[in-house]
């Protein structure tokens, strides 16, 4: 099973957050990073990062910018940022990096496969016991499409924007104000210079 989390890391004192898919096995994690993101650049050099288990809304919001609400955790002299609203965090040390050339529906790209060992886990906030809302799944799907708009050709981008608009229609029916505002942001900043 692949899970969606928020990875937080730091370079030269600047904090970065990004939603990323991750596989867990015992004390190990594995993730695939596409070239071009700050997370890719940072984790090419830095050996430590934090896995944040968060709400779907925070996963989606984290793709938009790095202006999160951060706290820090210290692990043997290393200070790492995590999201203050996370439910749970894992401090991870990278033990293996593998660079792979990839060709998929989004074109040619470079991928860095990272294997890391969990050094520490900590509960941060109690997750609220909430009924499922379709807005949760849909806002995350909108975030995934939003994050890929800049790496596809015009035809694919138009098709993806259509899908985002369909998801947004439903979000407007089932989501609250926060979800609607975030969905609007994704649609408004859909690379106006390119489209």
**Which residues of the shown chain bind ligand FMN in the complex (CB under 6 A)?**
4, 16, 18-21, 31-34, 37-39, 59, 63, 66, 140, 143-144, 147
Q: What are phi and psi of 85, to 5 degrees?
A: -90, 5
66 Cβ contact list (under 8 Å, min separation 6):
14, 15, 16, 17, 38
| Cβ at position 81, least distance to ligand FMN in Å | 12
Q: CB-wise, 12 or 77, nearer to ligand FMN?
A: 12
- Per the structure block, which two tokens stand in for 159? 């098709």
Report the distance separating Cα 88 and Cα 86, nearest Å. Answer: 6
| Cβ at position 51, least distance to ligand FMN in Å | 12
Among candidate residues 106, 114, 112, 110, the one with its CA nearest the CA of residue 157? 106
| Cβ at position 62, least distance to ligand FMN in Å | 7
Q: CB-wise, 16 or 52, nearer to ligand FMN?
A: 16
| Cβ at position 9, least distance to ligand FMN in Å | 8
Q: CB-wise, 133 or 147, nearer to ligand FMN?
A: 147
Contact predicate 84/71, CB 8 Å: yes
| Cβ at position 93, least distance to ligand FMN in Å | 19
Q: CB-wise, 77 or 106, nearer to ligand FMN?
A: 106
Q: CB-wise, 140 or 187, nearer to ligand FMN?
A: 140
C-alpha separations of 91 from 6, 81, 86, 168 in Å? 12, 10, 13, 34
Q: Kindly state the DSSP code that residue 97 receives in the 8-state scheme.
A: E
């Amino acid at each position: 099973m692949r899970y969606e989390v928020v990875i937080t890391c730091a370079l030269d004192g600047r904090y970065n957050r990004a939603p990323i898919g991750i596989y867990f096995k015992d004390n190990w994690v594995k993730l695939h990073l596409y070239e071009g993101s700050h997370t890719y650049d940072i984790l090419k050099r830095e050996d430590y990062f934090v896995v944040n288990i968060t709400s779907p809304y925070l996963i989606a919001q984290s793709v938009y910018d790095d202006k999160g609400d951060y706290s820090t955790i210290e692990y043997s002299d290393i200070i790492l940022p995590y999201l203050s609203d996370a439910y749970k965090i894992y401090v991870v040390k990278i033990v293996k990096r593998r660079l792979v050339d990839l060709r998929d529906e989004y074109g040619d790209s470079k991928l860095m496969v990272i294997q890391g060992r969990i050094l520490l886990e900590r509960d941060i906030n109690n997750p609220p016991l909430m009924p499922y809302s379709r807005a949760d799944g849909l806002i995350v799907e909108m975030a995934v499409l939003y994050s890929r708009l800049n790496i596809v050709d015009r035809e694919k981008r138009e098709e993806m924007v259509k899908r985002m608009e369909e998801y947004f229609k439903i979000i407007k029916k089932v989501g609250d104000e926060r979800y609607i505002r975030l969905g609007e942001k994704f649609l408004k900043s859909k690379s106006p210079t390119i489209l």
